[in-house]
Amino acid sequence: MPGTAEVKKLFLSSSKFAVVGASKDQTKYGTKVLKWYQARDKNVTPIHPKESELEGISAVRAVADLPSPSETSISIVTPAKVTLGVLEQAKALSVPALWLQPGAEDEAVIKYINENDLADKVIYGGPCILVEGDDIIKSFL
């Protein structure tokens, strides 16, 4: 299994990003992650089942609605039950990498990752893009 550092580089080397779990509530981590991408001029799309836009960006309803899911790294900031469905969609659509923010996974999610050969594409178990993202980006320079 590749190290987490390689998966983080794979994740942040994408040209497009999406966030599942952003909302109108600016105090929530999903929105903070969305704003993190915005502040770094990243091409980011919020994915939300009901909202048509968040933070001034047009949102899509599902991973399948992304213009090019196979070129989009996805941050997931959702309860584990929601995360599992997002992983299933992402696998079906060949999403290159996913970053589960702390708390987005449970045993069922980790089991799914391991049983579906996604361990080399998914960051989980603690790291947060808000804490580590800038250092990873700097490592490209």
- Sequence-separated (6 or more) residues with CB below 8 Å from residue 139: 9
pLDDT tens per residue, range 10-66: 999 999 999 999 999 999 999 999 999 999 999 999 999 999 999 999 999 999 999
Domain extents in the chain? 4-140
pTM of the model: 0.95
- Sequence-separated (6 or more) residues with CB below 8 Å from residue 18: 44, 45, 46, 47, 60, 63, 66, 72, 73, 74, 75
Distance of CA 125 to the CA centre of its chain: 14
Q: How far apart are CA 61 and CA 51, in angstroms?
A: 8
Compute CA distances 66 → 27, 106, 130, whole Å. 25, 26, 23
Question: Would you say 23 and 55 are in contact if contact means Cβ atoms under 8 Å apart?
Answer: no
Q: Which of 4-8, 53-57, 70-74, 87-91 has the lowest mean pLDDT?
A: 4-8
pLDDT tens per residue, range 92-134: 999 999 999 999 999 999 999 999 999 999 999 988 999 999 9
Tell how strand 57-58 and strand 53-54 pair up: antiparallel
Class of domain 4-140: alpha beta
Tell how strand 98-100 and strand 53-54 pair up: unpaired
